Amino acid sequence: MLYKGDTLYLDWLEDGIAELVFDAPGSVNKLDTATVASLGHALDVLEKQSDLKGLLLRSEKAAFIVGADITEFLSLFLVPEEQLSQWLHFC
């Protein structure tokens, strides 16, 4: 295993192929701040793999990702505009 976050993990398959698996706690995967942060960390790990040829994305859930976590919207929109802009650019 290359990386294990709270909502996803990254594994090395074979022949230069990595697998990124969304697997959040609960019944569905949501695109929330934890998933975005874990995705950033996983991509940092992948950038260091000189023999990477491809990336397979999949989900352990029936639905890949159901959408954004709207319960986080209010807190995101209360941050300063510059910080929100940087976060959106990262996403």
Q: What is the mean pLDDT of residues 43-57?
A: 97
**Could you tell me the CATH number of the domain that includes residue 30?**
3.90.226.10
85 lies in which domain range? 3-90
pLDDT in tens, 1-19: 999 999 999 999 999 999 9
Check residue 73 and give its pLDDT. 81
The pLDDT tens digits of the residues spanning 58-79 come to 999 999 999 988 888 888 778 8
Number of structural domains found in the chain: 1
- How does residue 89 score in pLDDT terms, banded at 50, 70 and 90? confident
pTM: predicted TM-score of the whole model, two decimal places? 0.84
Question: Of 40, 31, 23, 26, which is closest to residue 66 (Cα–Cα)?
Answer: 31
Which phi and psi angles does 43 have, rounded to 5°? -65, -35
